[in-house]
């Protein structure tokens, strides 16, 4: 055994068999360091994942902008909705000017809560959504706090060929993926339900058509909307409040394609406010309905909304 007494601080160090026995303070510091290492590692992983997820998002946006070339905005007039069901006409008169230019594209900054599956708990998220009206396209890039220090990057794309939702732990490791024609149909319904954020998209066109639906409730009116993109068509029912004309609910109607009528997509709207020339809901809740059971999956609050020329 070797005993060394230092003059500075009178600290005693004992060396035995070549192993240094640390002071209590050094032990505490070492334990703290060991506890912090995983957290530091996860922060670095999240930082690297953000870069990787941004690259994936940019690739999707390159396709999005390639399929949505810049075009001059076309004009519309109030006579364009003259033949619409009364409830739809009342809503559009409230939502946008009587005459103006159709919205080509919009960029939306969002925050809120998300449930990635039915057994998951609610997690906070932030997202940026890119929407094209003509042709109808969408890219949604979100970042949710999945576990402490573990982010989940979620990339949802509705492009020409198909729809797809992919998720990545730390923005790097694939967690799940859903793609194909059924997903495209679901995302067409989402694009349609969210069109209250870009309301000129709901004007009659070669893609959008409307018809009145009888309502058994005195306080609301209903209308059916059909949306066609290529060879695929989806449809749903908008429910409007008679008191102010604002949409209260959008849902897939009965008789839609089998996969979509079992788990039926819906949106609800609240906190209507004005962004630029348009009256839109700041809060939108989306979910799936199975029989009489509704399950919210996405609670969105709009932070910023940019109408791009």
Percentage above 90 pLDDT, the chain: 49
pLDDT at residue number 34: 40
Which pLDDT score is estimated for 268?
A: 97
pTM beyond 0.85: the answer is no
State the pLDDT confidence band at 309, using cuts at 50, 70 and 90. Answer: low
pLDDT band at 262 (very low <50, low <70, confident <90, very high): low
pLDDT for residue 42: 54
Band of the pLDDT at 17, cuts 50, 70, 90? very low
What b/e sequence results for 111-124 when a residue is b if at least 16 CB atoms lie within 10 Å of its CB, and e otherwise?
ebbbbbeeeeeebe
Q: Which residues pair with 105 in a beta bridge?
A: 132, 308
- Of the listed ranges 153-157, 251-255, 288-292, the least confidently predicted one is 251-255
- Percent of the residues in the chain that have a pLDDT greater than 70, as a whole number: 78
Bridge partner residues of 221 (DSSP): 240
Which whole number is the average pLDDT over 93-121?
90
Cα torsion 9, 10, 11, 17: sign: positive
Q: What are 266-290's pLDDT values in tens digits?
A: 999 999 999 989 999 999 999 998 8
Band the pLDDT of 15: cuts 50, 70, 90.
very low
Question: What does the pLDDT read at residue 4?
Answer: 33
pLDDT single digits (tens) 36-91? 445 555 566 656 667 888 889 999 999 998 887 766 778 888 777 888 999 999 99
| Mean confidence (pLDDT) of the chain | 82
Which domains occur in the chain, in start order? 39-308 (2.50.20)
162-171, 181-190, 241-250: lowest mean pLDDT where?
162-171
* Residue bearing the bigger pLDDT, 159 or 259: 159
Which residue's structure tokens are 């519309």? 76
Q: Which of 117, 233, 128 is nearest to 184 (CA)?
A: 233
Lowest mean pLDDT among 1-5, 104-108, 197-201: 1-5
What's the mean pLDDT in 281-303?
93
Q: Which tens digit of pLDDT belongs to each residue from 132-149?
A: 998 999 999 999 987 666
What is the number of residues in the chain? 309
For position 39, what pLDDT does the model report? Answer: 52
> DSSP assignment of the chain, as one string?
-EEEE-SSTT-EEEEETTEEPPPHHHHHHHHHHHHHHHHHHHHHHHHHHHHHHHHHHHHHHHHHHHHS---PPPEE-GGGGTTS-HHHHHHHHHHS-SSEE---EEEEEEEEEE-SSTTSPPEEEEEEEEEETTTTEEEEEEEEEEETTEEEEEEEEE-SS-EEEEEEETTTEEEEEEEEHHHHHHHHHHHHHGGGGSGGGGS-SSSEEEEEE--SSTTEEEEEEEEEETTEEEEEEEEEETTT--EEEEEEPTTS-HHHHHSEEEEEEEEEEEETTEEEEEEEEEEEEETTEEEEEEEEEEEEEEEE-
Rounded to an integer, what distance in angstroms lies between the CA atom of residue 172 and that of residue 193?
A: 31
């Amino acid at each position: 055994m070797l005993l060394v007494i230092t003059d500075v601080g009178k600290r005693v160090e004992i060396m035995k068999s070549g192993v240094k026995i640390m002071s209590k303070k050094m032990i505490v510091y070492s334990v703290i360091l060991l506890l912090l290492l995983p957290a530091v590692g996860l922060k670095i992983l999240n930082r690297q994942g953000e870069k990787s997820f941004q690259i994936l998002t940019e690739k999707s946006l390159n396709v999005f902008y390639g399929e949505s070339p810049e075009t001059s905005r076309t004009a519309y007039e109030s006579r364009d909705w003259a033949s619409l069901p009364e409830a739809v006409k009342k809503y559009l008169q409230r939502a946008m000017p009587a005459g103006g230019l159709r919205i080509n594209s919009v960029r939306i900054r969002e925050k809120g809560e998300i449930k990635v599956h039915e057994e998951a708990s609610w997690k906070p998220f932030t997202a940026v959504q890119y929407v094209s009206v003509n042709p109808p396209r969408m890219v949604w890039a979100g970042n949710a706090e999945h576990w402490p220090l573990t982010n989940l990057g979620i990339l949802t794309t509705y492009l020409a060929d198909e729809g797809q939702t992919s998720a990545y732990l730390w923005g790097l490791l694939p967690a799940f993926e859903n793609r194909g024609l059924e997903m495209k149909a679901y995302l067409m319904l989402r694009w349609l339900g969210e069109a209250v954020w870009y309301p000129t998209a709901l004007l009659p066109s070669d893609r959008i058509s409307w018809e009145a639906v009888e309502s058994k409730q005195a306080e609301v009116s209903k209308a059916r909307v059909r949306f066609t993109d290529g060879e695929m068509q989806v449809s749903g029912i908008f429910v409007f409040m008679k008191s102010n004309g604002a949409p209260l609910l959008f849902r897939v109607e009965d008789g839609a394609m089998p996969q979509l009528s079992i788990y039926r997509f819906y949106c609800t709207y609240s906190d209507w406010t004005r962004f630029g020339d348009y009256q839109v809901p700041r809060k939108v809740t989306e979910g799936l309905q199975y029989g009489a059971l509704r399950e919210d999956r996405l609670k969105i609050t709009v932070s910023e909304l940019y109408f791009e020329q």
